[in-house]
Amino acid sequence: MKSSRSKRNADPLAYWRTQADRLIWTKAPTKTLEWDLPIAKWFSDGMLNASYNCDDRHVEAGKGDKVAYHWTADAEGESRTITYAELQKMVAKAANALSELGVKSGDRVAAYMPMIPEAVVTMLDIVRLGSVHSVIFAGFSAESLSSRILDSDCQIVVTADGAFRRGVASPLKPAVDEALKSCPNVRSVLVVRRTRGDVEWTEGRDHWWHDLVDSQKDTHAHESFDAEHTMLIMYTSGTTAKPKGIFHTTGGCLTQAATTYYNIFDIKPDTDVCWRAADIRWITGHSYIVYGPLINGATTVLPKTRSGKIMRPLLRDVTENRPLGDVTTLMDPTVVNSIGALMTESSADEE
């Protein structure tokens, strides 16, 4: 870390150009930073594909059997282990499905999903097509959802029939249906069957994931896009004012996520298993559950939830009950507070 810090401080531009080599580029950049306040452009003459950097590259390097995700699910026997080769095929199928729905480069797609593998797949298939994802926290109201869909002009929504919260099925699709009453530009909704709850259905607009995605070919030829091509829109929480959409472009975003994940958390991709206790919707989830770990070829625990009520069994699940080896745990203040509360409530033996 000290050596890395010294290099960065001595010549920041040279440092970040070197870090960009963590990515596979179709066209390697010759430029690093072009800064004309308030606009900053990173690696602007380079070309790459975000999804390729997260899965295909590892399969091509002979690491397809390496585990990408251990998903800790709600129901007994439901948890899944997904290798990089399996992830590549899942992403290819989903990308083909979105293409069938007419999604193309530059289109905006909203994801309103629980913490399930399909959420990761959705993010990766969107950026594979050069489209832009706006991942919206699945606990937000229909009003919050509609405001973000309208602001970013999303025309496709990917969601689930529901989610499990503290072990109880909670519907999601009704919030989407309500939100879309004020979003006339949304033409398609792709729905993962998660809780098997009853849902209202709009023929021609709504599509079941298992019908549309599972029937697709498991190969997809990716395209390359400019490093300054928009990759994602991340909204502020809206706690103090109207939520503001922050645009992140591909080359700079991926370089930052890959570099900070590797250096700050001292990850050993060949041996470590990482659990990032955050929701996939937040920037920490984007960076350290999806893009950072996958670019580095690491193995990640994808938790079903971060609810304090079930944090104790989840902690046991990822550290004791599974043959995962040593788990590196990365947390945020909210989760630390939740665990502190659990420790206070638990018995001395449980502590």
pLDDT at site 146: 97
pTM of the model: 0.89
Q: Are 308 and 342 in contact (CB under 8 A)?
A: yes
d(CA 268, CA 263): 10
Enter the tokens of residue 234: 């991340």
Domain for residue 13, yes or no?
A: yes
pLDDT tens by residue, the chain, 351 residues: 556 667 777 889 999 999 999 999 999 999 999 999 889 999 999 999 999 999 999 999 999 999 999 998 776 667 899 999 999 999 999 999 999 999 999 999 999 999 999 999 999 999 999 999 999 999 899 999 999 999 999 999 999 999 988 778 899 999 999 999 999 999 999 999 999 989 999 999 999 999 999 999 999 999 999 999 999 999 987 777 788 999 999 999 999 999 999 998 888 999 888 888 788 888 999 999 999 999 999 999 987 655 444 455 555 555 554 545 556 656 555 555 555 655 555 544 444
Residue 137: C-alpha distances to residues 45, 113, 141, 144, 241 (Å):
34, 7, 9, 10, 17
User: What is the enclosing helix (H) or strand (E) of 18?
Assistant: helix 12-19
Does 320 reside within a domain? yes
Domain that holds residue 22: 2-345
* Number of domains the chain contains: 1
CB 288 within 8 A of CB 342: no
Please, are residues 48 and 225 in contact by the beta-carbon 8 Å criterion? yes
Domain assignment of residue 85, yes or no? yes
Q: What would you report as the CA-atom Rg of the chain, rounded to the nearest whole angstrom?
A: 20
Q: Where are the beta strands (DSSP E) in the chain?
A: 33-36, 39-42, 47-48, 67-72, 80-83, 108-112, 132-135, 156-160, 162-165, 168-171, 188-192, 206-208, 225-226, 230-235, 245-249, 273-277, 299-303, 327-331
Q: Examine residue 351 and state whether it is found in any structural domain, yes or no.
A: no
Asked if residue 350 belongs to a domain, the reply is no
Q: Give me the CATH number covering residue 144.
A: 3.40.50.12780
Q: Could you tell me which of 164, 51, 176, 171 has the C-alpha nearest to residue 112?
A: 176
Q: For position 114, what pLDDT does the model report?
A: 93
Task: Compute, in degrees rounded to 10, the torsion defined by CA atoms 318, 322, 324, 330.
Answer: 0
Residue 350: per-residue pLDDT: 47
Contact 110, 91 (CB under 8 A): no
The tokens describing 136, both together, are 């919206």
Peptide bond into 269 cis (omega under 30): no
Q: Which residues contact 60 (CB under 8 A, 6 or more apart)?
A: none
| 134 lies in some domain | yes
What's the rounded Cα separation, in Å, for the pair 26 and 21?
12
Give the residue among 100, 98, 112 at the shortest CA–CA distance from 147. 112
Contact 303, 338 (CB under 8 A): no
- Least Cα distance to 259 among 293, 228, 225 occurs for 293
25 occurs within a structural domain = yes
Residue 4: strand, helix, or coil: helix
Computed from CA positions of residues 333, 336, 342, 348, in that sequence, does the dihedral angle turn out positive or negative? negative
